[in-house]
Amino acid sequence: MTETPEAVVRTQVTVPLRFGDGYTTSARVFTFDGLVDGKEHLALGLGDWRRAVARSAVGGRAPLVRPHSECLTGDVFGSQRCDCGPQLREAVERITEAGGLLLYLRQEGRGIGLYAKLDAYALQDAGLDTYEANVALGHGEDERDYTAAAQMLLALGAERIRLLSNNPDKAEQLIAAGVKVEEQIPTGVHVSAANVRYLATKASHTAHTIDLPLAE
């Protein structure tokens, strides 16, 4: 385990949230100074997150946490090519009920950026899978680094978490950065005709915990 540089909270403000299906909640939104990548990541405290973090600090049940990578096409425009938007909506409700944190991480396209992600979509339309397309563009299969996510959690006192994610790499990176992952909890499977190949590839290639009956 490497030593993770310290980050500190710079601003916090309450923001009421409303989703397209009418679901509403309120988030305590945090910004930070000292994040290693210099990006404007956010932490959203949902539900009784303070009590969840305090309970965890004295050995109780750890707060529910989802590190969610920004996806403009899915989160904002409702793209069916991925499952990001539905995962975000699911995570906000589940974390609100349990008490915990959603980390909104500015690493579009598994870290390659928005334009490159759309270039990768064009290559996928020509037959490559989601990982092959990134590599064909000269990028890594997944360039995301969760050190900043760990910094945010540690700055908020969340040293132990229950991780809401299908991605084993998130758990491995957070653990390496000093966050104890007590449990990894999968999200639901949000499948559509447009994303079934994408989800099947994540399950087969990077061991995402996705139970996809349609996958060959």
Active-site residue numbers? 142, 144
Q: Which of 179, 172, 171 is nearest to 152 (CA)?
A: 179
Strand pairing class (100-105; 64-69): parallel
Q: Which of 171, 180, 177 is nearest to 62 (CA)?
A: 180
| Cα–Cα distance list, 126 to 92, 117, 132, 133, 203 (Å) | 35, 14, 11, 10, 21
Find residue 164's DSSP bridge partners.
185
Q: Which of 68, 36, 59 is nearest to 160 (CA)?
A: 59
Burial code (b: 16+ CB inside 10 Å, e: under 16) for 6-33 equals ebeeeeeeeeeeeeeeeeebebbbbebe
The 10 Å Cβ neighbour count of residue 207 is 12
Distance, CA of 75 to CA of 38 (rounded, Å): 22
